[in-house]
């Protein structure tokens, strides 16, 4: 067969000029279908197709795109021309043609924004005609291209739910992968897919298993029965997994806290036996270490190999990877000296300093909105600026997580560390600073030289000199000068100023970014509504006095912290439809009613905290984040710069999903290592002892009450002295 196809390829090359549109499309389709991606033939076909595209019918356009994508011949010129031709004729496409075209462009990595927008409109109009395969292909394609918008996602989810029984195993895996990848994490679809998948796991291949596990973990959708089935199936075919699928599977089980020691042991053996450890990327090293440490599956041989690799390549790690590797080895109790020295040196090399001048559209400092509270965890930068923030601190020494009923789910903080065992609950931490945003602004402004901030400076437009040939030739901007690639900024009052660099740090709705008009630059609604408030005066229960607490019920979450020494700031977040959320936040009374309905049965002081916060001290907003596909809109430099922070953005988005899912209700999710405690045991004993949020009313203080339970089973007992201070007995 191979010899025959090669002979045919050479013959077609010689006569390609004689082929009409249908014949060109058929050749591309046939060679791709026969898994014969003859490079020379496809190169000739690409140019021939480009010449005749105006005579291609809709089906021929779809077949050509599919053929080239399947053959892996992603000719940029041809796909650009195909996009324009297909966009003009989408009304003539069959539903299979629509889904195959979307699939082909995504597979080829040619995520043409205008084409995908047009495909989305056409798909929504004809979704009732889509079969299961069309739905799976379309969802996968739009997610892969970073183009799965909310309207299409909702329509696809609704259509897919009624067809799940007709999906292939790969179609089910691709469907959940697509929705997780695009950040559309509706519990109803994932619950329906879990039911459909559980009975068909035996049909899944290694990639299907890995993608499914990854998708459910990304969506924070726990399903013990499903993961039991996935784990059992994975153990029987681990030799078929590629390295990334192994890592994704381990990450998923660790992320959801699914205990499967046999699976992790098998993954470790597979990584070692197939000599994969030497081929790992730096990110894969970090992810494996994190997953095994999170799952408490400490395989010494695996960690030794990871330590050697990480130490040798520490300078290649991103900041997040450095943090993950350090956390993983510390959490595993494997404090290998050479590794941590390498990590420290690499981390130090990533510290950067920047200087800037500021334009602020507020008329004055006093016109600035107060804003809410900040927690400054490290004061290196502020101290380097000469800022002494201790006088403004509203201190806390402990942080608790409660269930809605007031049961303690976790706690940590300096009050419980080995170095802080003697600290009284009323003592300042000396490490973290809680400070109102406007107060921090005031302290920074006090340190700036006069005139650094230009108040009332609202941006109208800007022009980069590199885009202006006349400016590039201006005597004041020599070709090799320091400001040859500067920028001219025009303000709303008509005045202009020149600068070497314009930094658009003007918020998520950035005017600077909007005026760049980047393709596919749009915000993605993360599905949460946030309500913030400031409560002045004492609370009904002194739970937030010198303490941070958060309460979760698996859907909603409140976070409360000292704002000043006499006020408490709180933030309540919960899933809510975007359009309805935008309307709700415009009606303060309705917003107040909504949050009271959600939290009226929660433990005190939550209901009274919300009830007693005046409407004028509250605000709400839907939470947005950058779209997953924004990197496609940026040139190489910006992609590199954004990569330094994008993981943190994505990580915070994923953390938000966890905090509003059943994962948040798992006890002892965060463990303070220097406390040396068996945290699950402590949490269990606290509950058995009836200690919870209400215990903050105890005269000794909640920290001291909790310490009594800790001391009941720790080897070094402690005694209580005046003020709640605890001293080890010798």
Query: In which residue are the tokens 């058929």 written?
Result: 26
At residue 351 the predicted structure's pLDDT band, cuts being 50, 70 and 90, is low
Question: What is the distance between the alpha carbons of residues 168 and 174, in angstroms, rounded to a whole number?
Answer: 10
430 contacts 463 by C-beta, under 8 angstroms: no
Query: For the residues 131-158, what does the mean pLDDT come to?
Result: 92
Percent helix, strand, coil in the chain (nearest 5)? 55, 15, 30
421 contacts 428 by C-beta, under 8 angstroms: no
Residues written for the chain: 730
Q: Give pLDDT tens digits for 51-93.
A: 999 999 999 999 999 999 999 999 999 999 999 999 999 999 9
**Has residue 40 got a pLDDT over 60?**
yes
Question: What is the distance between the alpha carbons of residues 176 and 189, in angstroms, rounded to a whole number?
Answer: 8
**Has residue 337 got a pLDDT over 80?**
yes
Buried b (16+ CB within 10 A) or exposed e, 226-256: bbebbbebbeeebeebebebbbbbbbbbbbb
At residue 402 the predicted structure's pLDDT band, cuts being 50, 70 and 90, is very high
Q: Give pLDDT tens digits for 458-494.
A: 888 888 776 554 554 444 444 444 445 678 888 888 7
Q: Work out the widest C-alpha separation in the chain, in whole angstroms.
A: 98
Question: What is the distance between the alpha carbons of residues 671 and 332, in angstroms, rounded to a whole number?
Answer: 12
Query: For the residues 189-194, what does the mean pLDDT come to?
Result: 94
At residue 651 the predicted structure's pLDDT band, cuts being 50, 70 and 90, is low
**Has residue 670 got a pLDDT over 90?**
no
Edge-to-edge strand ranges of the sheet holding 567-575: 408-412, 399-403, 548-552, 557-564, 567-575, 523-536, 618-626
Q: Give pLDDT tens digits for 709-718.
A: 888 766 554 4
**Has residue 420 got a pLDDT over 60?**
no
Query: For the residues 164-186, what does the mean pLDDT come to?
Result: 91
- Residue 689 half-sphere exposure toward CB, CA atoms < 13 A: 19
**Has residue 447 got a pLDDT over 90?**
no
Task: Tell me what pLDDT residue 132 has.
Answer: 95
Q: Give pLDDT tens digits for 535-551.
A: 988 877 788 888 889 99
Token pair recorded at residue 599? 């939290």
Q: What residue segments make up the domains of the chain, in order of their start?
A: 1-155, 167-274, 281-354, 358-415+424-462+488-504, 524-630
CATH classification code of 524-630: 3.30.9.30
Residue 487 in 3-state DSSP?
strand
Task: Tell me what pLDDT residue 115 has.
Answer: 95
Q: If you average pLDDT over each of 12-16, 98-102, 271-275, 317-321, which comes out highest?
A: 98-102
Q: What are the angstrom distances between the C-alpha of 32 and each of 29, 72, 99, 374?
A: 5, 9, 18, 57
256 contacts 217 by C-beta, under 8 angstroms: yes
Q: Give pLDDT tens digits for 318-332.
A: 777 888 888 888 878
Q: If you average pLDDT over each of 137-151, 305-319, 411-425, 663-677, which comes out highest?
A: 137-151
Question: What is the distance between the alpha carbons of residues 724 and 511, in angstroms, rounded to a whole number?
Answer: 53
Q: Give pLDDT tens digits for 16-31.
A: 999 999 999 999 999 9
Task: Tell me what pLDDT residue 436 has.
Answer: 76
Task: Tell me what pLDDT residue 352 has.
Answer: 44
Candidate from 112-116, 406-410, 444-448, 616-620 with smallest mean pLDDT: 444-448
At residue 625 the predicted structure's pLDDT band, cuts being 50, 70 and 90, is low
At residue 360 the predicted structure's pLDDT band, cuts being 50, 70 and 90, is low
Task: Tell me what pLDDT residue 277 has.
Answer: 79
Task: Tell me what pLDDT residue 397 has.
Answer: 80
Higher pLDDT, 100 or 457: 100
Higher pLDDT, 373 or 294: 294
Q: Which of these, 601, 653, 605, lies nearest to 627 by C-alpha position?
A: 653
Q: Which of these, 247, 169, 255, lies nearest to 218 by C-alpha position?
A: 255
**Has residue 317 got a pLDDT over 80?**
yes
Return mean pLDDT, the chain: 82
Higher pLDDT, 388 or 254: 254
Question: What is the distance between the alpha carbons of residues 516 and 504, in angstroms, rounded to a whole number?
Answer: 11
Q: Which of these, 95, 183, 181, 102, lies nearest to 132 by C-alpha position?
A: 95
Task: Tell me what pLDDT residue 371 has.
Answer: 63
Question: What is the distance between the alpha carbons of residues 205 and 170, in angstroms, rounded to a whole number?
Answer: 8
At residue 727 the predicted structure's pLDDT band, cuts being 50, 70 and 90, is very low
């Amino acid at each position: 067969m191979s010899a025959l196809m090669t002979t045919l390829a050479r013959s077609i090359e010689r006569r390609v000029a004689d082929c009409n549109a249908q014949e060109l499309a058929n050749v591309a389709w046939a060679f791709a279908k026969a898994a014969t991606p003859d490079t020379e033939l496809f190169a000739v076909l690409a140019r021939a197709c480009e010449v005749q595209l105006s005579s291609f019918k809709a089906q021929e356009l779809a077949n050509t795109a599919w053929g080239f994508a399947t053959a892996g011949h992603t000719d940029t010129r041809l796909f650009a021309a195909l996009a324009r031709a297909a966009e003009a004729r989408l009304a003539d496409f069959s539903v299979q043609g629509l889904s195959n075209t979307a699939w082909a462009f995504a597979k080829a990595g040619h995520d043409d924004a205008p084409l995908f927008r047009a495909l989305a409109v056409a798909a929504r109009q004809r979704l009732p005609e889509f079969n299961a395969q069309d739905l799976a292909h379309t969802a996968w394609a739009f997610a892969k291209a970073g183009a799965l918008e909310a309207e299409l996602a909702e329509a696809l989810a609704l259509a897919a739910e009624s067809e799940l029984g007709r999906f292939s195993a790969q179609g089910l895996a691709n469907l959940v992968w697509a929705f997780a990848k695009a950040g559309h994490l509706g519990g109803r679809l994932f619950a329906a897919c879990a039911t459909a998948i559980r009975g068909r796991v035996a049909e899944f291949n290694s990639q299907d298993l890995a993608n499914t596990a990854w998708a459910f973990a990304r969506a924070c959708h726990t399903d013990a029965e499903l993961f039991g089935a996935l784990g059992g199936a994975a153990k029987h075919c681990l030799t078929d997994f590629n390295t990334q699928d192994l890592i994704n599977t381990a990450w998923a089980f660790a992320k959801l806290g699914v205990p499967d020691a046999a699976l992790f042991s098998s993954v470790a053996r597979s990584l070692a036996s197939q000599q994969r450890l030497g081929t790992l990327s730096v990110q894969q090293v970090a992810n494996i270490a994190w997953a095994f440490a999170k799952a408490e599956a400490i395989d010494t041989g695996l960690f030794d190999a990871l330590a050697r690799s990480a130490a040798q390549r520490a300078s290649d790690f991103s900041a997040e990877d450095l943090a993950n590797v350090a956390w993983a080895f510390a959490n595993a109790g494997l404090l290998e000296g050479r590794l941590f020295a390498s990590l420290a040196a690499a981390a130090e090399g990533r510290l950067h300093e920047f200087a800037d001048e500021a334009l602020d559209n507020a008329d004055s400092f006093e016109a600035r909105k107060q804003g809410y509270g900040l927690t400054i965890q490290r004061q290196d930068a502020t101290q380097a600026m000469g800022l002494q923030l201790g006088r403004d601190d509203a201190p806390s020494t402990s942080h608790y997580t409660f269930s809605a009923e007031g049961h303690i789910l976790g706690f940590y903080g300096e009050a419980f560390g080995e170095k802080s065992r003697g600290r009284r609950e009323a003592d300042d931490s000396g490490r973290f600073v809680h400070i109102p945003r406007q107060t921090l602004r005031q302290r920074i402004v006090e340190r700036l030289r006069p005139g650094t901030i230009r108040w009332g400076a609202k941006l109208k437009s800007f022009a980069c000199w590199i885009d202006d040939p006349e400016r590039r030739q201006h005597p004041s901007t020599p070709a090799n000068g320091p400001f040859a690639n500067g920028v001219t900024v025009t303000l709303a009052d008509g005045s202009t100023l020149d600068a070497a660099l314009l930094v658009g740090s003007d918020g998520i709705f950035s005017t600077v970014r909007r005026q760049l008009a980047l393709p596919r630059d749009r915000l993605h609604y993360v599905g949460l509504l946030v309500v913030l408030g400031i409560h002045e005066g004492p609370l009904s229960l002194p739970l937030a006095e010198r303490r941070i607490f958060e309460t979760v019920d698996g859907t909603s979450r409140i976070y409360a912290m000292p704002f000043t020494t006499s006020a408490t700031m709180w933030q309540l977040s919960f899933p809510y439809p975007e359009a309805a959320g935008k309307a709700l936040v415009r009606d303060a009374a309705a917003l107040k009613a909504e949050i009271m309905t959600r939290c009226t049965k929660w433990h005190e002081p939550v209901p009274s905290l919300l009830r007693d916060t005046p409407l004028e001290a509250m605000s709400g907003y839907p939470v947005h984040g950058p779209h997953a596909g924004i990197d496609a809109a940026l040139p190489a430099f910006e992609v590199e710069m954004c990569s330094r922070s994008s993981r943190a953005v994505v990580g915070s988005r994923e953390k938000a999903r966890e905090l509003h899912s059943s994962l948040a209700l798992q006890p002892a999710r965060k463990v303070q290592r220097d406390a040396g405690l068996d945290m699950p045991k402590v949490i269990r004993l606290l509950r058995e002892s009836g200690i919870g949020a209400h215990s903050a009313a105890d005269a000794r203080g909640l920290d001291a009450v909790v310490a009594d339970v800790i001391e009941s089973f720790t080897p070094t007992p402690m005694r209580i002295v005046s003020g709640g201070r605890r001293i080890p007995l010798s």
